[in-house]
Structure 1
Amino acid sequence: MKKIILLLLSLTLIASFAIGCASGGSDEPTSGEGVTYKDGVYYAEEETFADGNGYKYFVVVTVADGKISDAEWGGTNVQVLGNKKTLSEEGKYGMEWHPQAEAAEAWLIENQDPAAFDELYTTDEGHTDALKTDAGTSVSIHVVEFFDLAKKALASEPVAEGAYTTPSDFVATATLPLEEEDVWEYRADFTVVNGTIVASNFNSVFVGEKSDDTEKYFDGDKALSKKELGVDYGMDWASNAEKSDAFLLETQGFTVNYIDDKGHTDTIAGVSIHVNEFEDLFNSALGN
C-alpha cells in the first residue's frame, strides 16, 4: 500500500512539473493573458462638457474573438466643432493631440486591460511617462479619461447595430447657412457607433459682433452658445435643446408633428422652442 501511495505522489510531482514547463515556468501573466470580453462594439462618454475648453471625451472599443481589436478616443465640443481627434489630424486643434491619443489606444490594444494602466500615472491629473508616440516623443496629455472611459465602455453592453452609416471618426456634423442679418448659427453633432446614434448635441452659437448690447453673449473675447449661456440667454433654450437631443436618441430619428409654420411641435414634452432647424441639421448630417 505504501508503494502505491509513493507512486501516486511521484506521478503528481511529474505532472506538476510538466504543467509548469508548458506555461513557461512563470507565475506572472503576460500582457492581456486571460482577459476576454464579449464580442461587439462598446461606447462610453463623459457625462458633461468640460468648463473652459468645452470638450466631452468618448471612447469606442471593438472586441473580436474575445479580444480588443480596436480602440478609438475622441471628443466633441459643446459649440459643435466635430471630433477633436479629426481637428488635430487636420491641424485645426492647436496642438498635436491625435498622435498622443493613438499611443494610449495602442497600449490598450496590446495589453487588453484598461485597469492595468492604473499604476502608471505620474500625476493626480492622469499624466504618465509610460507612453510614447510613433515618432518616439513622450506623451504629455493626461490620458486618465481614455482609460477610465474604456473601463466604463467594457463594463456595459455592446452597442446594438443600428440603421445609420457610421462616420469614419464616429461624428457627423452639420451647420445651417445663416439667414440675412442672423447672428445665431445653428449646429449639431451626432455621434454614431455601430450604426446607432449614441450622442446628440443641438446648439446655436453667437456669430455677431461684440458690442454693449451683445457683450452678455461673450466670455471675454469668446462668443458663447445658447447651451453655454443657459438661462442667461433670456430663456431656457438649453433645456429645450437637450430634450430634443434625448428624443432623437430614444427614437433614433426625428419625426415630429409641427403645429405651426415656425417649427414648433407638440411631439416632444416640455419643448417650446422651434425645432425645425434641428430636423434640418439631422437630415443634413446623416443623409436623410
Structure 2
Amino acid sequence: MKKKWSVLLCSLLLVGMLAGCGKEENNAAPVTTEPATTSDTTAPAAAEESGKYADGSYYAEGEFDADSGWKPYIVLTVKDGKIATADWNFVSSKGGPDKKAVDKAGNYGMKEKGGAQAEWYEQAETAEKFLIEKQDPAAITLNDEGKTDAITGVSIHVNDLANLSKKALDAGPIEPGTYKDGSYHAEGDQFDADSGWKSTVDLTVANGKIIYAFFSGVNEAGDDKQAYSIDGKYGMKEKGGSVAEWHEEAQTAQAFLIEKQDPAAITLNDEGKTDAITGVTIHVTDFVTLSQKALEGAK
C-alpha cells in the first residue's frame, strides 16, 4: 500500500513540475528577430524625406480654344520635394508672342477694356504664387465658370492652371531642353518682289524646348499668309493643283520642327524645298533660316 502511495505521489510531483515549466515558458518575453542588414538595403527617396514631389521639371499643355485662339501650358520646377516655380502661360493660334508678353506690352488690356482690378499677367502671377504656397493644385477650388474664390484678387479663369498643374505633376518630371524659355520672332528683310509676301516665324520655348512654331508671312496690305490661305484666298489646290493648301503644309512643317527641336533637321535642296517632311512641297528656306535667327536669342 505504501508503495502505491509513493508511486502516486511521485506522479503528482512530476505533473506539477511540468506545469510549472510550461507556465514559466508562456510568461517569457517573445523573441524577436532583427531583419538582416545587407549592402542591398536602399534609403528612402529624397522626395519622400523632404517633400511631396520628385525633384525636376514638369510640363503640360492644353488645346487651342476655338473662340479665343489661345492654348495653355505650364512649366513647374520642384526642388527638395516642393514646387519652387510655376509658369502658366498661353500661345496663340494666330502667331505672335505668348500671352504674358502680349499683356505686358499693353496689348491685352483687361483693366482698360474690361475694368478689371489687375491685368491678366498680374492675376496669373498671383495664382502661381498661391499654387506654390499651397503645394497642391486641388487647393485651387473652381466654380462652374472655371474661376475661383480661393485666391484673393484673382477674377480670371484659372481652370487651366489647376488642371494642367495636376496633369504635369501626375506625369512626373521630364528632361528640360537646352533653349532659354520665352517667345521669339524673326522676319524677312523685305517683301518678295514676285509673291509680295515677307516671311515671318514665331517660336515659343518652354522648359527649354520649342513647344510652338508659327510659319507665316505678311504682305503690304497687312494680311497674314496663313489666315489668307485659310480663307481660301491663296488657292494652292485650286490654282496649282497641290494636294494641300499652303497653311496646311506650313503647319506640317511647324509640327516637324517641334518634333526635331532643330531647324537644321529640315534639309533643303537647291530649290529651297525639302524631302525631309512628308507632304510638304512648299518652299521652306525662309522657315529654316528665320527659325535659326529667332533661336539665336534662346541660346
| 1:270 CA drift (Å) | 1.3
Partner of 2:283: 274
Go from structure 1 to structure 2 and tell me whether the alpha carbon gap of 1:83 and 1:128 turns closer, same or farther (over 3 Å shift): same
Does residue 1:192 correspond to 2:205, yes or no? yes
Distance across 2 between alignment mates of 1:205 and 1:274: 13
| 1:160 CA drift (Å) | 1.5
Does residue 1:150 correspond to 2:202, yes or no? no
Q: Is the 8 A contact 2:199 2:218 kept in 1?
A: no
What does 1:70-109 correspond to in 2, within 5 Å?
A: 70-95=85-110, 96-109=119-132
Q: TM-score, normalised by structure 1?
A: 0.70
Letter in structure 2 aligned against 1:156:
A
Distance across 2 between alignment mates of 1:37 and 1:173: 35
SS in structure 2 of the partner of residue 41 of structure 1: strand
Q: Is the 8 A contact 2:192 2:198 kept in 1?
A: no
| 1:111 CA drift (Å) | 0.8
Partner of 1:125: 145
Q: Is the 8 A contact 1:89 1:98 kept in 2?
A: yes
Letter in structure 2 aligned against 1:203:
F
Distance across 1 between alignment mates of 2:57 and 2:123: 23
Letter in structure 2 aligned against 1:230:
I
Partner of 1:12: none
| Identity fraction in percent | 40
Q: Is the 8 A contact 2:213 2:258 kept in 1?
A: no
| 1:153 CA drift (Å) | 1.6
SS in structure 2 of the partner of residue 155 of structure 1: helix
* Runs (5+) with no aligned partner, structure 2: 1-22, 28-49, 111-118, 237-244
Letter in structure 2 aligned against 1:247:
F
Partner of 2:10: none
Query: Which one of the candidate residues 249, 254, 259 is aligned to 2:269?
Result: 259
Distance across 2 between alignment mates of 1:229 and 1:129: 43
SS in structure 1 of the partner of residue 171 of structure 2: coil
Go from structure 1 to structure 2 and tell me whether the alpha carbon gap of 1:57 and 1:194 turns closer, same or farther (over 3 Å shift): closer
| Rg larger for | 2
Does residue 1:42 correspond to 2:58, yes or no? yes
| 1:195 CA drift (Å) | 2.9
Letter in structure 2 aligned against 1:201:
A
Go from structure 1 to structure 2 and tell me whether the alpha carbon gap of 1:267 and 1:55 turns closer, same or farther (over 3 Å shift): same
Distance across 1 between alignment mates of 2:61 and 2:286: 25
More helix by share: 2
Letter in structure 2 aligned against 1:94:
G
| 1:61 CA drift (Å) | 0.7
* Runs (5+) with no aligned partner, structure 1: 6-33, 133-137, 211-222
Equivalent pairs counted in the alignment come to: 232
Go from structure 1 to structure 2 and tell me whether the alpha carbon gap of 1:163 and 1:121 turns closer, same or farther (over 3 Å shift): closer
Distance across 2 between alignment mates of 1:251 and 1:201: 12
Please, what is the CA RMSD of the aligned residues? 2.9
Q: TM-score, normalised by structure 2?
A: 0.68
Partner of 2:247: 238
Go from structure 1 to structure 2 and tell me whether the alpha carbon gap of 1:189 and 1:37 turns closer, same or farther (over 3 Å shift): farther
Partner of 1:202: 214
| 1:245 CA drift (Å) | 2.0
SS in structure 2 of the partner of residue 72 of structure 1: strand
Go from structure 1 to structure 2 and tell me whether the alpha carbon gap of 1:73 and 1:207 turns closer, same or farther (over 3 Å shift): farther
Per-residue displacement from partner, 1:165-193 (whole Å, max 9, x unpaired)? Answer: x13xx322323334156654433332323
Distance across 2 between alignment mates of 1:162 and 1:180: 35
SS in structure 2 of the partner of residue 42 of structure 1: strand
